Amino acid sequence: MSNNGALLNPLQISSTVREALTSTPFIDIHTHLFAPAFGSLGLWGIDELLTYHYLEAEFFRYSNTIVEGYWTLSKSEKAEAIWHTLFVENTPISEATRGVIAILQAFQLPTDHSALSEARAFFKNQKREAHMQRVLQMAGISTIVMTNDPLDPEESPLWLKGIASHNQFHAVLRLDRILCTWHDHWQAIVAQGYAVDAQASGKSVSEARRFLMDWAKRMQPVYMACSLPDTFEFPSDTLGGRLLQEAVLPTCRELGLPLSLMIGVRKHVNPRLRLGGDAVGRANLCCLENLCRDFPSNRFLASVLSRENQHELCVLARKFNNLMPFGCWWFVNNPSIVEEITRERIEMLGTSFIPQHSDARVLEQVIYKWANMRRTLAPILSENYRLLSEDGRGVTRADIQRDVTRLFRSNAESWMNLRPHT
């Protein structure tokens, strides 16, 4: 049995870091995956992988296909068009296309031009629950945190009817339709039996709180969440600003739930690309500074979309211990930028942050997104331990295991009242 207390030499440090990253099951704190009970809301299989909005955006860079024409195709026709353009006519060298190749490789499926038909046959033969367990095992994930919208016309009826819980899937109460597009969705809240109005006046705030409390009881969320534009300001006397201050923050405090803020998206800059049409903008993070300072008994998870905002987020986290930076979100979830972000976070925050989330929309994506993170993080952690040794403090296997557990499990478990996975 290896001695966990022995000081490690540089070579042992690297192998120990790789072992700890491989053997520690991670908690994936933000995904768009669903537990099996949600049926077809949960996406999986090769056609869903190929029609991922990241790949659709890349497809339109290469293809002369008229965008509107593409949307008239069936799912499998879309998948074939994308396979042909990005994986046959061109080299799948981008992060997202490499991801599909890595998934096929993980299932020992062919990855050359002819791979699509065999992949389709393979996925067709999979039994959902068993396949899901195998995928989580392959990705080294024990726990999935979903994204659940109480106003989504497909999802909310499932919750209202009552849905079985799953010990590996945790819910999140997503608030974008309430805080960002109230004008389009207040009537859906009325339809669920709450007396709110278009201006969120009168009883609307107390009714909104009642709405959140009822959904929290129903979903047992591990946090509430909202993605926000680069123009987001706080405090602000906008309708969204008022609902955040008077309904969401008090309800989070009452329930002891953190609020996750994902800041910096510019929605629909090219609406013709639908989900693939969003972009990024640099935000003024004074909004986050004001929230953390003025609401010390609220806890905030934060992820920022702009590369230029990453350093500021690290500095703010040094000022406010009710702020937990997490993940390299969306357009910064590329190995070269993940490396940059993770290095500065370790230098400025030690292990008091959550390095990554997958943001997976299709089940098998967790395989390559977490393989990429383990591959990127291993040399960064090893180098920091080597520097610590050179500076005069030796490192043990126990140190490394404690830190990896903290980064990918206990930070999340303590912040989100997640029951440790048995």
Q: What is the contact surface with ligand FIX in residues (CB under 6 A)? A: 147, 227, 262, 275, 330, 359, 361
Nearer to ligand FIX, 34 or 194 (CB): 34
Dihedral angle of Cα 28, 95, 48, 327, to the nearest 10 degrees: 20
Asked if 255 contacts 282 with a C-beta cutoff of 8 angstroms, the reply is no
Q: Which does 242 bind (CB under 5 to 8 A by kind): Zn ion, ligand FIX, none?
A: none
**What residue 79 binds from ligand FIX, Zn ion, none (CB within 5 to 8 A, per partner kind)?**
none
The entry of Zn ion, ligand FIX, none near residue 330 (CB within 5 to 8 angstroms by kind) is ligand FIX
Question: In angstroms, what is the minimal distance from the CB of 232 to ligand FIX?
Answer: 13
Q: In whole angstroms, give the CA distance from residue 106 to residue 327.
A: 24
- Total site size for Zn ion, rule CB under 5 A: 1
Of 230 and 359, which CB lies nearer to ligand FIX in the complex structure? 359
For Zn ion, the closer of residues 28 and 312 by Cβ is 28
Q: Closest approach of Cβ 241 to ligand FIX, in Å?
A: 19
Cβ atoms of 322 and 296 closer than 8 Å: yes
- Least separation, in Å, of the C-beta of 124 and ligand FIX? 25
Contact segment (CB under 5 A) with Zn ion among 159-167, 187-195, 353-361, 367-375 equals 353-361
Minimum CB distance to Zn ion, residue 280 (Å) = 14
3-class SS of residue 320: coil
Q: Is 413 helix (H, G, I), strand (E, B) or coil?
A: helix
Task: Say which entry of ligand FIX, Zn ion, none residue 227 contacts (CB below 5 to 8 A, set by partner kind).
Answer: ligand FIX
When CB distances are held under 5 to 8 angstroms depending on the partner's kind, the choice from ligand FIX, Zn ion, none that residue 358 binds is none
Cβ closest to ligand FIX, residue 260 vs residue 342: 260
Q: Is 112 exposed, middle or buried (0-12, 13-18, 19+ CB in 10 A)?
A: exposed
Q: What angle do CA 218, 223, 226 make, to 5 degrees?
A: 105
SS3 1: coil
Strand order in the sheet with 141-145: 26-28, 141-145, 169-170
Q: Which residue is closest to Zn ion by CB? A: 359
Q: Which does 275 bind (CB under 5 to 8 A by kind): Zn ion, ligand FIX, none?
A: ligand FIX
Q: Which of 47, 155, 207, 359 binds Zn ion (CB under 5 A)?
A: 359
Q: Provide the minimum distance between the beta carbon of 361 and ligand FIX in the complex, in angstroms, as a whole number.
A: 5
Q: Give the residue among 399, 369, 366 at the shortest CA–CA distance from 381.
A: 399
**356 vs 396, beta carbon nearer Zn ion:** 356
Nearer to ligand FIX, 196 or 262 (CB): 262
Q: What are phi and psi of 161, to 5 degrees?
A: -75, -20
Calculate the alpha carbon distances from 34 to 41, 71, 272, 360 in Å: 7, 24, 27, 10
CB of 373 to Zn ion, least distance (A): 16
Q: Which is nearer to ligand FIX, 17 or 259 (CB)?
A: 259
DSSP 21-65: HHHSPEEE-------GGGGGGSB-SHHHHHT-HHHHHHHHHH---
Residues near Zn ion (CB under 5 A) are 359
